[in-house]
Structure 1
Amino acid sequence: MVVPELHLVQSETDARQLSGLAREIWTEHYTSLIGAEQVTYMLDRYQSAEQIWQDIQSCHVTYVWLDCGTDMAAYMAYSDKTGYGDCFLSKLYVKKAYRGQGLAKTLLDHLVARCRRDKKQSIWLTVNKHNTGSIEAYKKLGFSCVDAIVTDIGGGFVMDDYVLRREVEQ
């Protein structure tokens, strides 16, 4: 197995490549959970190259990805948005061919190290209530459920999620 290499999204080209990866992962994984129409809506609204680059330029969101050889295999986005914790893990997605190989843990380890450095006490995220595989993976990574929320995202769609949180050991 190739050792994954972590990269920071730093250019519009990186954002375009990441958007392509998001489209691949979301279409494969989320269509059965939320339907093709909502997948397309959310990709266009939250995962377009333009939106990713705007998030980065605003200095509020950090995007990183993992390469496995020449293949972009997984990515994560996080911010200092408070709510249920100090650091919001807004995105953590792994390409189907790479699931079960520890890439989510590699990304999370990077985030935990950053949180320790910045004295953040906890990480929180939202996950679709029907995304049982991801919920179990997050629990194995130390997260626990702290709430259930429904968020109107426009376009006639909602996100029906659990809120998960993990404390950061200092």
Structure 2
Amino acid sequence: MDGLSFVIADTEETLEAVERLAYEIWNEHFPSIIGQAQVDYMLEKFSSLAAMQNFQKEGYMFYIMKSESHHLGYFSYKLEKKMLILSKLYVHADHRGKGIARETMKFMGAIAKKEGKLTVRLTVNRDNLGSIQAYEKMGFEKISEVVMDIGGGFVMDDFVMSVAIDKLISFTK
């Protein structure tokens, strides 16, 4: 996508922009998948300003995907021993299907390769079919399933997906 840039969210102001994006995107996309009560719970627990500031202390990086003056979405990752853990990748509904996720993966693949990581790993809700298909098109494969209690009476029922850095980079060129 022309004009796409990635802006690191490392200030209170930019993290608040991520928080606003999260609330908008999640409330548009996820109620039909996990229900509004779980959306509300997960936004507070994982995407509030305070939650993101705590995640930053654990090594997570947050970015805004931007085109000119529009915020298109956001993503977050953490570098671990041999992999880049993609924690969040959310594109605003108005901008899905335009190659933004692919360009974001190219960006993260370059970071992972530079840092000597071998794979990119993520979790995705097993009922989030559009995202699963998009990840599979980029070379990700389902490697396991996980059901995680996240508190509040809710669970995350996810596939764990992974792709080798070299495969991801060759795909996204």
Shorter-chain TM-score bucket reads over 0.9
Q: Any idea what the Cα deviations from partners look like across 1:5-50, whole Å, max 9, x if unmatched?
A: 2111120010111100000000000000000000000000000012
Q: Residue 73 of structure 1 corresponds to which residue in structure 2?
A: 72
| Deviation for aligned residue 1:2 | 5.1
CA 1:87–1:2: 2 relative to 1, 3 Å: closer
SS in 2 for 1:142: coil
Superposed, which structure 2 residues align to 1:56-71 within 5 Å?
A: 56=56, 58=57, 60-71=59-70
Superposed, which structure 2 residues align to 1:74-153 within 5 Å?
A: 74-81=73-80, 86-153=83-150
SS in 1 for 2:30: helix
SS in 2 for 1:52: helix
CA distance in structure 1 between the partners assigned to 2:8 and 2:59 by the alignment = 14
CA distance in structure 2 between the partners assigned to 1:150 and 1:79 by the alignment = 21
CA distance in structure 1 between the partners assigned to 2:16 and 2:53 by the alignment = 9
CA distance in structure 1 between the partners assigned to 2:86 and 2:54 by the alignment = 17
Q: Any idea what the Cα deviations from partners look like across 1:37-71, whole Å, max 9, x if unmatched?
A: 00000000000012112222x15101111112211
Q: Residue 26 of structure 2 corresponds to which residue in structure 1?
A: 26
CA distance in structure 1 between the partners assigned to 2:22 and 2:151 by the alignment = 20
CA distance in structure 1 between the partners assigned to 2:103 and 2:78 by the alignment = 18
Q: Residue 12 of structure 2 corresponds to which residue in structure 1?
A: 12
CA distance in structure 1 between the partners assigned to 2:2 and 2:121 by the alignment = 30
CA distance in structure 2 between the partners assigned to 1:81 and 1:120 by the alignment = 8
Partners of 1:75 and 1:107 within 8 A in 2: no
- Pairwise CA RMSD: 1.4
Q: Any idea what the Cα deviations from partners look like across 1:110-148, whole Å, max 9, x if unmatched?
A: 110011101100010000000000000000111000001
SS in 2 for 1:100: coil
CA distance in structure 1 between the partners assigned to 2:136 and 2:94 by the alignment = 21
CA 1:119–1:147: 2 relative to 1, 3 Å: same
| TM-score between the two structures when normalised by the length of structure 1 | 0.94
AA aligned opposite 2:32: S
Count the aligned residue pairs: 167
Tell me, which stretches of 5 or more residues in structure 2 are unaligned? none
| TM-score between the two structures when normalised by the length of structure 2 | 0.92
Tell me, which stretches of 5 or more residues in structure 1 are unaligned? none
CA distance in structure 1 between the partners assigned to 2:31 and 2:58 by the alignment = 31
